[in-house]
Amino acid sequence: MSKVKGNLDIALKTAEKVLSECGTTPSVRFKLTDNNNPTIFESKVGGIPYMPKDFKVPVDGDGIQLRLLMQIRCSDVTGCDIFPKKGILQFWISANEVWGMEIAGYKAGYRVIYYDTIDETVNKNDISAKISEMTEYEKEYFPVKGVFGVEFYPCTETIPTRSNEYQKLFCKYYNELSDEKINSLYDFPFDILNTILYSIDSSYGHKIGGSSDYCQFEPREGEELEKYNFQLLQLSSDFKRHEQKIMWGDAGIGHFFINSEKLKNCDFSDIFYYADCC
């Protein structure tokens, strides 16, 4: 139950002050397009991947094929200086109950694969022949429910409103401007809370870089935050009432993190992968 009535005008001024003071950071966002038949050489979510002629489909610890989550033609991505400028970057995961995470007795089932050159003579049919058909079990748990082209656009992000820094500063400045005193943003009624917290949170959505959105909690702990300090990919659930394009369990989110120096060197051998849902 809310402890204060709240003043929306003061809350909006406070939010504007905090966001302005904390500045912005660059990121690259992307959206799914209506193109449901991208080629093997294009950026896409799901579908048949690009693979060199001598390459084998990656597998998990039990020898079961991984599935293509997303493929990025690196030249499509602008606005991120440390991202590769050429080639193709791919994200693969197991289509199982834990989406390839190494938890609860499951073996790790995820790979990030980078090709610095692209052989344009590769044939889609030859690649398709290497990929086994998805079982009904895999179809149920694999988060991508089709094949979708993608469109990238660089942008800047404000500090996430659910971060401790934003909320601490918000309480400080609101208390300076208002006769009411709050200890937490959750002291507000929902209409104000939604306006100054949920509706302006920059962490939402599909992106490269920028802040991270979680359904549960930040999975990196201690030294992991520095070791895996760059968000290589955030792929969120993407759906409407009667249409699912991407669905991680109950409207979850998938993340791949990497060290920024390794990204500069196009070294994708050490990745932190995590997905969660509500």
pLDDT tens track for 29-84: 999 999 999 999 999 999 999 999 999 999 998 999 999 999 999 999 999 999 99
* CB 95 within 8 Å of CB 89: no
Q: Is residue 125 part of a domain?
A: yes
d(CA 142, CA 144): 6
**Given this model, what pLDDT does residue 2 score?**
65
Identify whether 49 is part of a domain.
yes
Q: The tokens 């939010």 sit on which residue?
A: 15
Span 74-103, mean pLDDT? 97
Dist CA 261 CA 227 (whole Å): 10
Contact 76, 21 (CB under 8 A): no
Parent domain of 265: 33-160+202-276
* The pLDDT of residue 238: 97
* Within a domain: 13: no
Among 111, 1, 114, 127, smallest CA distance to 59 is for 111
How many separate domains does the chain show? 1
The whole-angstrom separation of Cα 116 and Cα 278 is 37
- Residue 3 placed within a domain: no
Which stretches within the chain are classed as H helix? 8-22, 124-128, 136-141, 164-177, 190-193, 224-227, 260-264
What integer pLDDT is reported at residue 1 of this predicted model? 53
Average pLDDT of the chain is 95
Is residue 133, in this structure, part of any structural domain at all?
yes
User: Over 90: is that where the pLDDT of 186 sits?
Assistant: yes
Q: What is the CATH number of the domain that holds 131?
A: 2.30.320.10
CB burial of residue 274 (10 Å; 0-12, 13-18, 19+):
buried
Which residues in 74-184 belong to E strands, given as ranges? 88-93, 110-115, 148-158
User: Does residue 30 contact residue 214 with C-beta atoms inside 8 Å?
Assistant: no
Confidence band for 241, pLDDT divided at 50, 70 and 90: confident
Cα 48 to Cα 130: distance, rounded to the nearest angstrom: 10
Residue 166 lies in a domain: no
78: Cα within 13 Å, side-chain hemisphere: 4
pLDDT at 251 over 60: yes
- State residue 104's pLDDT score: 80
The pTM assigned to this predicted structure is 0.93
The residue among 278, 197, 272 whose CA lies nearest residue 236 is 278
Alpha-carbon separation of residue 46 from 21, 42, 127, 148, 220 (angstroms): 40, 11, 14, 7, 27
Is 188 inside any structural domain?
A: no
* Cβ atoms 100, 273 nearer than 8 A: yes
Residue 177 lies in a domain: no
**Count of other CB atoms within 10 angstroms of residue 181:** 11
Share of the chain above pLDDT 90, in %: 93
